[in-house]
Amino acid sequence: MVQTANQIPDLEVSEDFLAKYNRPGPRYTSYPTAPVWNEDFRQTDLASFYATAEAADTPVSLYMHLPFCESLCLFCACNVVIQKDKTAAIPYLQSLKSEIAHVSRAVSHRREVVQFHWGGGTPTYLNPPQLEDLFGYTRERFSLARDAEIGIEIDPRVTSAEHLEVLRKIGFNRLSMGIQDFTPLVQQTIHRVQPFELTRDLIESARSLGFDSINVDLIYGLPYQTAASFSDTAEKILQLAPDRIAMFSYAHVPWLRKQQGAFQGHLPEGREKFHIFKAGVSKFTDAGYLYIGMDHFARPSDELAVAQRERTLHRNFQGYTTKAGADLYGMGVSAISSVGAAYAQNHRVISEYQSAVEAGGAATMRGYRLNDDDLLRRAVITRLLCHAVILKPEIEEQFHIDFDDYFSREIGELAPMRDDGLVLLSPVEIRVTPLGRIFIRNLAMPFDRYLREQKMDARPLFSKTL
């Protein structure tokens, strides 16, 4: 599907339309989603999938979770540890190295690491020597491809020129930085004061050092945001000219993150929030960025845009990626692995993570073994979210099914969405319309068997789709 900027429609929908489609739903970084996983899945189960992946000689993707932050951003729903005393990172890094050594023994050097990502928390909470030491320790134990994507999430407020110089020297080539919003009142309310000039200067320094790609993260739906104020933020983003933009919907989950309760009464809702989203989409697509889907924008020449046109785009726990076919090995507290037909997540509390690593080298807390139906549905949902089209003959050939027969119920559930202009249904394909791309999570949800059977949409597990 070749996408151009003018394929984004003139976004205007009614209150009734939003009430119908703006409901809780998964983001589908995995299928089945994490609430389906169970604690019966242990490290011994994951080890068997390690062995299968090793025998298959698949490429490798590594993720490392560094959870520390100096202060808490009130909107945040990530697994973070707020600690001003930076000596707290020292024992954690020792445990992380033990886990790296354990995992590396299951991955031979003939299998290249094509993607390596550090997330958090704030990885640049660590000082430059710690960053260099951790990266070197990992590089000694895995075989990094010469053209590997090596990325890190940074916070401009705590990232120094020395941080950037060391990151570039040791091999990082991609940066992703949180911005969220440049409006002073919004920044003060969410406890993340980050001046435009600070962010601009950091990006200019990164470019001078030769980083290949710079991504910025925004959030719409934050307290006190308006369409006008977010338009101003978007204008400032365009001055920074990032290669990619992620514009996430604020996930208001105060039952999971109590600090978010302070926002109640100050959040844009319904059409007001939709107009904020619309302002961002219009600014970025008018400036030539392509709407990849699920909150992401990229320049037409970017690898993400090329992969979407060529229908090779993939999706994993880091979002959209061009590295399809790679097995993901997650390390660190709360990190998630996706190896073959299995998912596994590490313990989410540092003390429990460290104890598990000390006892057995790994820290698996829960996981899931996919069955044949899961694999089929994962393929369907992934193609929908990545390519905005499901070609039925491809699915039929790969999984030896009659698509319309197997998914008769799901096609029936899509029919009202077709009538609302979100999707086109034909005997050979299911194709998402430009408007449907905005509500693509809703289009994926009928294919989620567990959402229906376990009535997960009735439980406070997911943020709303807009």
Domain for residue 191, yes or no? yes
User: Whole-angstrom Cα distance, residue 348 to residue 165?
Assistant: 31
Evaluate the CA torsion angle 459, 247, 210, 325 in order and state its sign: positive
Token couple for 262: 């302070």
- Residue 13 pLDDT: 85
> Do 291 and 305 contact (CB within 8 A), yes or no?
no
Residue-number span of the structural domain to which 245 is assigned? 15-329
Report the 10 Å Cβ neighbour count for 18: 18
Which are the contacts of 32, defined by CB distance < 8 A and separation ≥ 6? 368, 370, 374, 448, 450
Q: Do 81 and 155 belong together in one domain?
A: yes
End residue of a domain, out of 309, 329, 349: 329
Domain for residue 283, yes or no? yes
Question: pLDDT (tens digit, 9 = 90+) per residue, 137-167?
Answer: 999 999 999 999 999 999 999 999 999 999 9
CATH number, position 236: 3.80.30.20
Q: Do 385 and 422 belong together in one domain?
A: yes
Three-class SS state of 80:
coil
DSSP letters for 178-192 = EEE---HHHHHHHT-
- Residue 419 pLDDT: 97
Q: Do 400 and 317 belong together in one domain?
A: no
Domain for residue 296, yes or no? yes
Question: pLDDT (tens digit, 9 = 90+) per residue, 397-438?
Answer: 999 999 999 999 999 999 999 999 999 999 999 999 999 999
Q: Which alpha helices (H) appear in 14-80, and where do they start and end?
A: 15-21, 43-56
Q: Do 323 and 383 belong together in one domain?
A: no
- Tell me the one-letter amino acid at 38: N
CATH number, position 420: 1.10.10.920
Residue 459 pLDDT class (50, 70, 90 cuts): low
Using the predicted structure, report yes or no on whether residue 390 has a pLDDT greater than 80. yes
User: Whole-angstrom Cα distance, residue 8 to residue 31?
Assistant: 27
Question: pLDDT (tens digit, 9 = 90+) per residue, 116-136?
Answer: 999 999 999 999 999 999 999
Using the predicted structure, report yes or no on whether residue 1 has a pLDDT greater than 50. no
Question: pLDDT (tens digit, 9 = 90+) per residue, 45-78?
Answer: 999 999 999 999 999 999 999 999 999 998 888 8
Domain for residue 355, yes or no? no
Q: What is the mean pLDDT of residues 187-196?
A: 96
Q: Do 319 and 405 belong together in one domain?
A: no
Q: Do 99 and 170 belong together in one domain?
A: yes
Q: Do 56 and 6 belong together in one domain?
A: no
Q: Do 300 and 193 belong together in one domain?
A: yes
Q: Do 296 and 378 belong together in one domain?
A: no
Q: Do 20 and 6 belong together in one domain?
A: no
Q: Do 384 and 309 belong together in one domain?
A: no
- Residue 322 pLDDT: 87
How many domains are there within the chain? 2
Domain for residue 377, yes or no? yes
Domain for residue 357, yes or no? no
Residue 6 pLDDT class (50, 70, 90 cuts): very low
Summary mean pLDDT of the chain: 93
Question: pLDDT (tens digit, 9 = 90+) per residue, 25-52?
Answer: 898 999 999 999 999 999 999 999 999 9
Question: pLDDT (tens digit, 9 = 90+) per residue, 254-271?
Answer: 877 788 888 888 999 888
Q: Do 19 and 4 belong together in one domain?
A: no
How many residues are there in the chain? 466
Domain for residue 350, yes or no? no
End residue of a domain, out of 329, 359, 391: 329
Domain for residue 363, yes or no? no
Pairing relationship of beta strands 112-120 and 60-66 according to DSSP bridges = parallel
End residue of a domain, out of 329, 349, 380: 329
User: Whole-angstrom Cα distance, residue 277 to residue 314?
Assistant: 24
Rounded to 5°, angle at Cα 220 from 433 and 179: 120
